């Protein structure tokens, strides 16, 4: 009567006595800092797997364990540069988003899942040599450029780097604005990137809803020439200009049309060109 089932239950190992701590998540990395900017935006840093190699501008899959016991993963640009000891991410908080409704509550010491397989097209290898490099972004599309702006290769390859970031409200620019201010003030960054090189960087933030010194969609400001007038640079030219684009699908398509109209061709890892594009999110 005792039967096999009872015996097995008795013998099922009880893990409380296990001496070594096993990671609770597969591919687990530990959160080292978290910073919130608005009720929709935050950034965080995690430990970096020793074996992870990536090119500044690439993205990986990260996430948390879902309620069903399976990993819930999403694509995230690595916002830190390839040389950094840790990994940084800049994230949206979607109120009912399967991942970010939970991810927004992470704290220092918590674990996240990180699949160490970086990919992406916003990399220097996918662009032909040029003189002026534009980074066009909206919202969290700033993230891959947060990596590339801290990458020495960016300044070695170009005479001028123009970072445009468009958001609805002024607060949404904070992460990018602070990062650029730090670049120009931080001694370690100045030493790494070169003080003279940092002079090549021009930052062009705009808002579409809340009042700010520069308002308007970047597409409008390209079309009416204000962007070039404000920065004192010539209009887009395929002989000298290169671009990387990261925003919503609609934004990407609008910028792509403007770049193609100016004679620039889209590139890829397999065939470098004059501009490259990546979606900041799907939907």
Ligand X SMILES: Cc1cc2nc3c(=O)[nH]c(=O)nc-3n(C[C@H](O)[C@H](O)[C@H](O)COP(=O)(O)OP(=O)(O)OC[C@H]3O[C@@H](n4cnc5c(N)ncnc54)[C@H](O)[C@@H]3O)c2cc1C
Residue 94 touching ligand X (CB under 6 A): yes
Q: How far is the CB of 204 from ligand X (least distance, A)?
A: 20
Question: Which one, 3 or 283, has the nearer CB to ligand X?
Answer: 283
Contact segment (CB under 6 A) with ligand X among 29-37, 92-100, 211-219, 256-264 equals: 92-100
C-beta nearest to ligand X: residue: 97
Strand partners, 64: 72
| Tokens coding 281 | 């999110």
Contact segment (CB under 6 A) with ligand X among 22-30, 46-54, 90-98, 264-272 equals: 90-98
- Candidates 212, 282, 221; CA nearest to 252 is 282
Buried/exposed 89-108: b ≥16 CB within 10 Å, e otherwise: bbbbbeeeeebbeebbebee
Q: How far is the CB of 6 from ligand X (least distance, A)?
A: 43
- Candidates 29, 249, 243; CA nearest to 126 is 243
Question: Which one, 134 or 175, has the nearer CB to ligand X?
Answer: 175
Q: How far is the CB of 54 from ligand X (least distance, A)?
A: 13
Question: Which one, 226 or 266, has the nearer CB to ligand X?
Answer: 266
Distances in Å between the Cα of 87 and the Cα atoms of 33, 49, 149, 211, 281 are 10, 9, 15, 33, 19
| Tokens coding 49 | 């797997």
Buried/exposed 174-196: b ≥16 CB within 10 Å, e otherwise: bbbeebbeebeeeeebeebbeee
Q: Residues 234-263 vs ligand X: string with x where CB under 6 A? A: ------------------------------
Binders of ligand X in range 43-62 (CB under 6 A): 59
The size of the interface with ligand X (CB under 6 A), counted in residues, is 23
The span from the CA of 80 to the CA of 48, in Å, is: 11
Report the residue from 97, 116, 216, 238 that binds ligand X according to the rule CB under 6 A: 97
Residue 37 touching ligand X (CB under 6 A): no
Binders of ligand X in range 101-120 (CB under 6 A): 101
Binders of ligand X in range 128-167 (CB under 6 A): 139-140, 143
Q: Residues 60-89 vs ligand X: string with x where CB under 6 A? A: --------------xxxx------------
Question: Which one, 77 or 80, has the nearer CB to ligand X?
Answer: 77
Report the residue from 29, 56, 100, 147 that binds ligand X according to the rule CB under 6 A: 100
The span from the CA of 276 to the CA of 246, in Å, is: 9
Question: Which one, 236 or 246, has the nearer CB to ligand X?
Answer: 246
Using an 8 Å Cβ cutoff, are 79 and 43 in contact?
yes
- Candidates 159, 149, 212, 141; CA nearest to 182 is 149
Question: Which one, 44 or 203, has the nearer CB to ligand X?
Answer: 44
Angle at 238 between CA 162 and CA 82, to 5 degrees: 45
Phi first, then psi, for residue 118 (nearest 5°) are -70, 140
Using an 8 Å Cβ cutoff, are 140 and 58 in contact?
no
The span from the CA of 186 to the CA of 198, in Å, is: 11
Q: How far is the CB of 246 from ligand X (least distance, A)?
A: 8
Positions that interact with ligand X (CB under 6 A): 59, 74-77, 90-92, 94, 97-101, 139-140, 143, 278-283
């Amino acid at each position: 009567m005792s039967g096999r089932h009872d015996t097995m239950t008795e013998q099922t190992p009880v893990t409380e006595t296990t001496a070594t701590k096993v990671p609770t998540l597969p591919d687990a990395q530990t959160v080292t800092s978290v910073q919130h900017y608005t009720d929709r935006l935050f950034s965080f840093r995690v430990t970096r797997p020793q074996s992870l190699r990536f090119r500044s501008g690439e993205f990986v899959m990260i996430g948390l364990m879902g309620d069903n016991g399976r990993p819930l993963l999403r694509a995230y640009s690595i916002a830190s540069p390839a040389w950094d000891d840790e990994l940084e991410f800049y994230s949206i908080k979607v109120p009912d988003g399967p991942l970010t409704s939970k991810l927004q509550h992470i704290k220092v010491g918590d674990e996240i899942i990180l699949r160490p397989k970086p990919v992406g097209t916003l990399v220097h290898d996918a662009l032909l040599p040029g003189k002026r490099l534009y980074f066009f972004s909206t919202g969290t599309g700033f993230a891959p450029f947060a990596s590339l702006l801290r990458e020495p290769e960016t300044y070695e390859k170009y005479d001028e780097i123009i970072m445009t970031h468009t958001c609805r409200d002024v607060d949404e620019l904070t992460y990018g604005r602070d990062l650029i201010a730090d670049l120009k003030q931080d001694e370690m960054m100045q030493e790494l990137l070169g003080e003279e090189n940092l002079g090549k960087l021009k930052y062009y933030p705009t808002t579409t809803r809340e009042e700010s010194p520069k308002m308007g969609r970047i597409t409008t400001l390209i079309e009416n020439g204000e962007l070039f007038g404000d920065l004192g640079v010539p209009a887009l030219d395929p002989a000298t200009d290169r671009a990387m684009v990261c925003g919503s699908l609609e934004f990407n398509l609008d910028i792509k049309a403007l770049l193609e109209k100016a004679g620039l061709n889209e590139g890829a890892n397999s065939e470098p060109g004059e501009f490259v594009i990546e979606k900041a999110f799907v939907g």
